[in-house]
Structure 1
């Protein structure tokens, strides 16, 4: 049922042709992080059944940090656009 040696080679060649050599490592990294997130989510679901609810303070801190980074990014983009306009 699972691919054997030569079948893996064909699958890898097709993936290389579809995504290109530059995007293939990015694809592998994103696939790995997706699997990791799914596993962590499954573990946290099992743990949350036994534990008390998680405090939302961590989310608020993360949101504030994200807003700060977005503001910095917007300022940098504006500065770059102003520099390109001159």
Structure 2
């Protein structure tokens, strides 16, 4: 996912890019082991935010905006869900840095 705020942590400034990725990925994996993804919630959000509006656009407009809408709304949804999870991952980042 796109956990941008984790990479900007002030404790990771002195590390190089590979070390940052390694530490952040380990923190995310530790978080996922204890808190797995709720796939029903994710799929229903995707259907509500991305698929349903795309279907409505296709029915009323019938144009190629559907592909663009699906791509953009899926990306925005992924970023939004990741930014909502970031505060929950910070304690796992602390464990990886200690």
TM-score exceeds 0.5: no
TM-score, normalised to structure 2, is: 0.33
Higher relative contact order (CA 8 A, sep 6+): 2
Q: Which has more helix, going by share of residues?
A: 1
